[in-house]
Amino acid sequence: MTATLVKGSQYNRLPLTGSIEVPGDKSLSHRVVLFTALASGCSHVRGLLDSLDVRSTIAAVETLGAQVELKAQRGRLSGTISGPMIAGAGVQIDCGNSGTTTRLLLGLLSGRQLEATLTGDESLSRRPMRRVTEPLSSMGAVFSPMDHLPITVQGRATLRAIDYHSPIASAQVKSAILLAGLSAEGTTSVSEPHKSRDHTESLLPAFGIDVHVDGLKVSIEGGKELSPCDCDVPGDPSSAAFLLVAAALLPQSKVTVTNMALNPTRIGFLTVMRRMGANVEIRINERNTLGQETVGDVTLSWREGLIATTVTADEIPALIDEVPILALLATAASGSTRFECVGELRVKESDRLSAIVEGLTALGCSVAVDGDDLIVNYGPPLYSEHETLVLDSRGDHRLAMTWIVAARAFAIDIDIPGILCCDISYPGFIADLMSLSQQ
């Protein structure tokens, strides 16, 4: 294997077998870093994802004055984080490629009496920020410009509470407003059209902050301070999805992912896989929790005869990051699988919607876009055994991992420029995938 070439042909579609623990959950890791840095005192943390995105958040809280002492081991970070953050005016924070770092910081900094400028890489600088800055502006923060990085934030010690009805279901938007609400006078509320990831509202109670959830509406009282909390971050279900789908595609495979986060807003992909006929078993570990998060083990045993399904618009927020790998799985499901209302994919780390179509088409699969819907028809990849395909990652970790799985699952040699972007969310992904080929 070269720096970019994945030689799937050498495995000849051998099954994947064994147990594995994937690196810590990325969404939880971001929030654990931010919340422990906000708290007054020292928190012990274990299992933080050691990825480029999470390191952007760690660097941000250090720039803002938090004391961070972490050691790396096998893709995880453990140690202590001490707050509260104390920073003077005029700080500059590089958010790298991380949209979560950026949008949550915009909310957090809105309620701080300081000026800070957020920057990012070329990809992040193209991503839309008005969906966050607009509601935060109505609370009293000032942003220049409003739309894209770099953005300078003029925070306020006290903000106005708002009752915000978000036009999109977005955990980042919701979390930014709730974090700003910690510094607001009164009750700040956010309502969504569909339920998005709820890690912020699940974790804040562990830090002494009451959060009220009423259906699709989440509320928080201002004027509260976070208390230190020791945290053990479970494995990332979005990372696990790539291993589980690979097992579902390879005959006779059986893979167990241990100590995995089982938050219902994060495992929608398992519901879809089950509906397609995949054999998925979940065992909850009642003793291993983080705040109100559920943790457990997930086993995927290969089963013949997958069938197509429709992934509805209200399911998408719980599996938006897994659409690329589920689209690959859909090529092995008889019929036509439709992913409804996935236009949000156009403004991820790359235009994932066009990239999925481009990549699957290059593999010889039948795929189309109908407005904001993605349609994938049955038909595994068609390829020449003597040909090496080139599928560009576009610098997008979810795409790179999808094409790596395609190479392994269908015994194809695929050259993937930018393959190292996997480190954004899953350092060591290729090694973990191939280790399951040898057990």
The single residue of 198, 297, 321, 423 carrying the catalytic annotation is 321
Q: Considering only CA atoms, which of 411, 412, 375, 345 is closest in space to residue 127?
A: 345
pTM beyond 0.85: yes
Q: Domains of the chain: which residue ranges?
A: 5-23+234-435, 26-218
pLDDT string in tens for the chain (439-residue length): 457 999 998 998 999 999 999 999 999 999 999 999 999 999 999 999 998 899 999 999 999 999 999 999 888 999 999 999 877 668 999 999 999 999 999 999 999 999 999 999 998 999 999 999 999 999 999 999 999 999 999 999 999 999 999 999 999 999 999 999 999 999 999 999 989 999 999 999 999 999 999 999 999 999 999 999 999 999 999 999 999 999 999 999 999 999 999 999 999 999 999 999 999 999 998 766 788 899 999 999 999 999 999 999 999 988 999 999 999 999 999 999 999 999 999 988 889 999 999 999 999 999 999 999 999 999 988 766 667 899 999 999 999 999 999 999 999 999 999 999 998 889 899 999 999 987 5
Between 3.90.1150.170, 3.65.10.10, 3.30.70.20, 3.40.640.10, what CATH number should domain 5-23+234-435 receive? 3.65.10.10
**Under 8 Å between Cβ of 348 and 228:** no
Task: Give the distance between the most distant pair of CA atoms in the chain.
Answer: 66
DSSP symbol at 77: E
Let me know how long the chain is.
439
Query: Which residues in 182-220 are b (16+ Cβ under 10 Å) and which e?
Result: bbbeeebbbebebbbbbbbbbbbebbebebeeeeeebbb
User: What was the pLDDT predicted at 29?
Assistant: 97
CATH architecture of 26-218: Alpha-beta prism (3.65)
Dist. CA 161–CA 112, nearest whole Å: 15
Active site residue 373: no
Asked if the domains 5-23+234-435 and 26-218 are classified in one and the same CATH topology, the answer is yes
